[in-house]
Amino acid sequence: MANMLVKIRYFAALRETTGRGDDTLELPDGATVAEARERLTATQPALARLLPVCAVAVNRAYVAADHALTDGDELVFIPPLGGG
């Protein structure tokens, strides 16, 4: 099966923890958000504490963990909100 590239952007606590604003994740075609989260936890152990409490947005819309990703998607993990 071919692989796809997903663009990740980091904000707030995730940006501080990773020390960067974005990243690229290579995943098998059809991988889900949950699989992306597992991969990221493995490659960025510092995020292991944060990722379980994050919601997820793909291409600027909230999605569930079983959402299937597509090549070129923008994936953002959304920590607990603090606006207002």
Are 76 and 56 in contact by the 8 Å Cβ rule? The answer is: yes
Smallest distance from other proteins to CB 53, Å: 9
Give me the residues that bind other proteins (CB under 8 A), please.
Answer: 9, 11-13, 15-16, 57, 60-61, 76, 78-84
Could you tell me if 69 and 36 are in contact, meaning their C-beta atoms sit under 8 angstroms apart?
A: yes
CB-nearer residue toward other proteins: 16 or 38: 16
CA pair distance 60, 56, nearest whole angstrom: 9
Least Å distance, CB 2 to other proteins, is 28
| CB 41 to other proteins: min, Å | 19
Structure tokens at 75: 């994936």
